[in-house]
Structure formats: C-alpha cells, structure tokens
Structure 1
Amino acid sequence: MKKVLIMIGNIALYLGVFYALLYLLRSTYNYEATQNFAKFLDVNPAMFMVVLFTLITLVYLIIFRIKGWIWPQEDKNLFRAAGFRRLSASRVLLMIALGLAGSLFSIGLIVIDDIAKQFPSIPALVDDLIRGDSIWYVILGAGLIGPAFEEILFRGLIFRELRRVMPVYAALVLQAGAYAYFQPSAALSVISIGSGLIYGVLYLRTGSLWAPILVQNTAMSTIFLFKYIGFYEWFGRLGDIWLYIITALCLIALIGGSVYVWRTSGNGGIGEQANGSTKGGLTV
C-alpha cells in the first residue's frame, strides 16, 4: 500500500507541476508588462510549447535533486532516472526509419479525403501548430521539444512509477491510456493508444528513452516540414488507392519494427538497466 501511495503522489506531483506552470504561462495574457510576450506566444503556438515544457523540465530537475537529498536512495538525476541511455548506431537508424514511417502514416490520414472528413481534428492540429513567424519555431517546439517532453513525462516518469507497483504489461497499457487521455481530441486519443504502446515497447526493450524520442522527433519534425514545403499536395495527387496502400504499409512497418525490437532486444531492457550506472548519449 505504501508503494502505491508513493506512486500516486509522485504522478500527482508531476501532473500538478504541469498544470501549475500551464496556468502561470497563460496568465501572462492578463498583465500589461507581459502582454507582448503573450502575443508572441499566441502567434507562435509552437514557441508556447518550448517555453512551457522547458520550464516544467527545469522544475522536474529541481524536484529530483530535492528528493535525492531527502531520500538518498532516490536518483537525484532526472535524465538518468528517466532512462536517457546510449543507443547503438543501428538502433538510432531504426528509430529514425520508424519515425519516417510514422510521419507518412500521419500524413496519409490528413490527405486522404474520407479520413480527413471523418477526423478533422488531425489536419486541424497540424494547421494550428504550423502557423507562426518561422518554420524553425514550429520544428523546435512541435517537432523536437514537445515530443521529447511527452516522452520524459509519460514514458520516463509515469511509466517508471507504474512499473514499481504493478506487472510491466499492465503498466505498459496504463501509460498508453494516460498518454491518450491527454490528447486534444477523441481521434488523436484513439491513435495515441497505439502510438503510446509502441513508444512504451521501444523504451522498455531498448532500455533507453532516446528510442521513442527519436521516433517522435523524426515523425513530428517531418510532418511539419513536409507540410511547409508542399509535400502534402504532391502526396495527395497519388490518388486514394495508393494513399491507402502507403498508409497501411507504414502502419505495418511501425508495428513490425516494434515487434522486431521486442524480439531482438535482451531480456533486461529498461528494467535491468534501471539500477545500473550508464552514461547518456545517442550512440556507442
């Protein structure tokens, strides 16, 4: 029971920090001294993500440091605790390939007319985030920092807490459900259940948070970059039959790549490495 209460308290703390800083950042619209800053963030929603998620991560770093001082057995380093461990070069390339497959799968959902009409929130989200003063703001916020923060929160922290008190498969499903719950629409929530399971599997079996971060960063960055350079229009001219085929093949590639990682990784994964001391980085 004590472990369960600690788990609930830690997750509540992580989410509480998120909502507190979200409220604080939104309150900048209410003060004359910060209105220019607020207007900049309003015009550039991706930069809102940069500021918010950077602030939250800094607070998480402080929280881990304080907890480490109070309870010496606890890890003082957020990034080590979350699982920023080395990936081999072959794994890095595989994650980038999975990210490209995820990008084309998502673009297929946007440019196929029947799907876009049934689930308008998917193209609407891309259109909303891509607006702003610079495509580089979009890639920085929505393509890099936003996805990386999602992985820190949902896989590195929440999944970590869940695994301490329940079987790993139950924790895997629950973290995917939590990830889906916080999406901005029902359609994205359904998709996020699947993607949350994939990200969780990659994290669990590679033993590194870099794995799902690389997949997310590659997918999200190329989704917005391809939109900016006009790739969507060219892709849409292939016709619905080819679009359905390519989108389905990309989904198969995502699932197949995850199964491959599951079957070719060692038995320990993140669970075995969690108690070891490893250095961060992308490649060995």
Structure 2
Amino acid sequence: MKKVGTMLGNIAMYFGVFYALLYLLRSTYNFEVTLSFAKFLSRNQAMFMAVLFTLITLVYLLIFRIKGWIWPHADNNLFRVAGFRRLSAPRVWLMVGMGLAGSLFSIGLIVIDDIAQLFPSVPALVDDLIKGDSAVYVIMGAGILGPTFEELLFRGLLFRELRKVMPVYVALVLQAAAYAYFQPSMALSVISIGSGIIYGSLYLRTRSLWAPILVQITAMSTIFLLKYAGFYAWYDKLNEGVLYFITAVCLMALIGGSIYVWRTSDQGHDWIRVAKARMADTPSAAPKGG
C-alpha cells in the first residue's frame, strides 16, 4: 500500500508541476512587462511548447536534487532515473528508420483525402504549428524539445512509476492511455494509443529512453521539414492507391521494427526479472528505474 501511495504521489507531483507551469506561462498575458513575450509565444506555438517543457524539466531536476538531499539513498539524477542510456549504433539507425517510416505514415494521414476528412485535426495540428516566425522555432519546439519532453514524462517517469506496483503489460497500456488522454484531439488520441505502446515497448526492451526519443524527433522533425520543402504537394499528386500502399507499408515498418526490437533486445537480461526488481523498490533497483 505504501508503494502505491508513493507512486500516486510522484505521479501527482509530475503532473502538478506541468499544470502549475502551464498556468504560470499563460498568465504572462496578464502583465504589461511580459506582454510582448506572451505575444511572441502566441505567434509561435512551438516555442510555447519549448519554453514550457524546458521550465518543467528544470523543475523536475530541482525536485530530484531535493529528494536526494532528504533521502540520501534515492537517486537524485533525473536523467539516469528516466533511462537516458547509450544505444548501440545499429539501434540508433533502426530508431531513425522507424522515425522516417512514422513521418511518412503521418503524412499519408494528412494527404489522403478520405483519411484527412475523417481526422481533420491531424493536418490542422501541422498547419497550426508551422504558423510561426521561423522554421527554426518549429523544428526546435515541435520537432525536438516537445517529443523529448513527452518521452521523459510518459515513458521515463510515468511508465517507471506504474511498473513499480503493477504487471509490466498493464503499465504499458496505462501509460499509452495517459499519453493519448493528453493529446489535443480525439483523432490524435486514437493514434497515440498505438504510438504510446510502440514507444513504451521500445523503451522497455532497449532500457534506454533514447530509443523512443529518436523515433519521435525523427518523425516530427521530418514531418515539418517536408512540409516546408513542399513535399506534401508533390506527394499528394500520387495515385490514391499508391498513397494507401505506402502509408500501410510504413505502419507495418513501425510495428515490425518494434517486434524486432522486442525479440532481439534481451542482451542477457530477463525483462521479467528486471520488472520484479523494480517492484521490489529497493535502493539498488532505483537507479535502474528507467
């Protein structure tokens, strides 16, 4: 029961910081001294994300330091706890390849008319984010910092907490559901259930948060770069059947890549034993929580 209470308290703290800083950043509209900064963020939604997520990460870093001072046995390094562990070069390239497949899959959802009409919020999100002062802001905020923070929060912290008190498969589904809940539309929530499970499984099997981060930042950055490059207009000229085929192949590549990682990432470690060690909540297991 104590472990459940600790888990709930930590999760409440992570999301409490998120909402508190979200409110603080939005309140910059209320003061003359910060009004120009607020207008800049209003014009550049990607930079709003970048500023918000950077502030939250800094607060998380401080919280982990404070916890280390109060409880000397606790790991006070946020990045080590979250699982920023080195990936091998073949794994890096595989994640980049999966990210490219993910970008083409997403672009397919945007340019295929029937799908775009069914899920209009997907192309609308891309259009809204690129309405900024600079492409650099968009890539930095929505292509790099945004995905990195999402993986830190949902996989590195939330998933880690859930795995301490419940079977790993249940935790995998719950973190994906939470990830989907925080998406800005129902269509994106549906898509995010699947992507959350893929990201969570990559993180679980590689034991490195860099795996889902690389997939996400490759996918998101490519989506925006290709939009700026005019690729969407050229891609949309392809036959509808060809677009469906490429989109389906890219989806299968994402799923197939995840299965491949799942089947080849033991590296001498029994994941069931690792999960049980985490649930034991011992000081020696804490650094392995990512």
Same fold (TM over 0.5): yes
Within-5 A mapping of 1:190-205: 190-205=190-205
In structure 2, the partner of 1:233 is 233
Within-5 A mapping of 1:212-231: 212-231=212-231
- TM-superposed deviation, 1:143: 0.2
State how far apart, in whole Å, the 1-side matches of 2:191 and 2:287 are: 35
State how far apart, in whole Å, the 1-side matches of 2:250 and 2:152 are: 25
In structure 2, the partner of 1:158 is 158
Q: Given that residues 74 and 286 in structure 2 are in contact (C-alpha distance below 8 angstroms), is that contact kept between their aligned partners in structure 1?
A: no
Which contiguous aligned blocks of 4+ residues in structure 1 show a shift greater than 2 angstroms? 267-278
- TM-superposed deviation, 1:277: 6.8
- Residues 258-284 of structure 1, C-alpha deviation per residue, up to 9 Å, x if partnerless? 000000011446757994979xxxxxx
In structure 2, the partner of 1:244 is 244
Within-5 A mapping of 1:103-122: 103-122=103-122
- TM-superposed deviation, 1:52: 0.3
State how far apart, in whole Å, the 2-side matches of 1:19 and 1:10 are: 14
Instruction: Say which SS state the counterpart of residue 86 (structure 2) adopts.
Output: coil
Q: Given that residues 46 and 138 in structure 1 are in contact (C-alpha distance below 8 angstroms), is that contact kept between their aligned partners in structure 2?
A: yes
- TM-superposed deviation, 1:112: 0.2
State how far apart, in whole Å, the 2-side matches of 1:155 and 1:211 are: 11
State how far apart, in whole Å, the 2-side matches of 1:259 and 1:32 are: 53
Paired residues in the alignment total 279
- Residues 206-234 of structure 1, C-alpha deviation per residue, up to 9 Å, x if partnerless? 01000000000000000001011100011
State how far apart, in whole Å, the 1-side matches of 2:136 and 2:165 are: 41
Q: Given that residues 205 and 261 in structure 1 are in contact (C-alpha distance below 8 angstroms), is that contact kept between their aligned partners in structure 2?
A: yes
Q: CA RMSD in A?
A: 1.6
- TM-superposed deviation, 1:5: 0.7
CA separation of 1:277 and 1:188: change in aligned 2, threshold 3 A: closer
In structure 2, the partner of 1:282 is none
- Residues 18-60 of structure 1, C-alpha deviation per residue, up to 9 Å, x if partnerless? 0000000000011111000001101111110111000000000
Amino acid corresponding to residue 198 of structure 1 in structure 2: I
Q: Given that residues 28 and 35 in structure 2 are in contact (C-alpha distance below 8 angstroms), is that contact kept between their aligned partners in structure 1?
A: yes
In structure 1, the partner of 2:129 is 129
In structure 2, the partner of 1:86 is 86
- Identity over aligned pairs, percent: 75
Q: Given that residues 81 and 287 in structure 2 are in contact (C-alpha distance below 8 angstroms), is that contact kept between their aligned partners in structure 1?
A: no
In structure 2, the partner of 1:262 is 262
Instruction: Say which SS state the counterpart of residue 15 (structure 2) adopts.
Output: helix
Q: What TM-score does the superposition give when structure 2 sets the normalisation length?
A: 0.93
State how far apart, in whole Å, the 2-side matches of 1:123 and 1:277 are: 40
In structure 2, the partner of 1:50 is 50
In structure 1, the partner of 2:141 is 141
State how far apart, in whole Å, the 2-side matches of 1:8 and 1:84 are: 23
1:209 equivalent in alignment to 2:209: yes
In structure 1, the partner of 2:97 is 97
Instruction: Say which SS state the counterpart of residue 166 (structure 2) adopts.
Output: coil
Q: Given that residues 205 and 268 in structure 1 are in contact (C-alpha distance below 8 angstroms), is that contact kept between their aligned partners in structure 2?
A: no
In structure 1, the partner of 2:72 is 72
- TM-superposed deviation, 1:73: 2.1
Instruction: Say which SS state the counterpart of residue 184 (structure 1) adopts.
Output: coil
State how far apart, in whole Å, the 1-side matches of 2:286 and 2:189 are: 35
Amino acid corresponding to residue 152 of structure 2 in structure 1: I
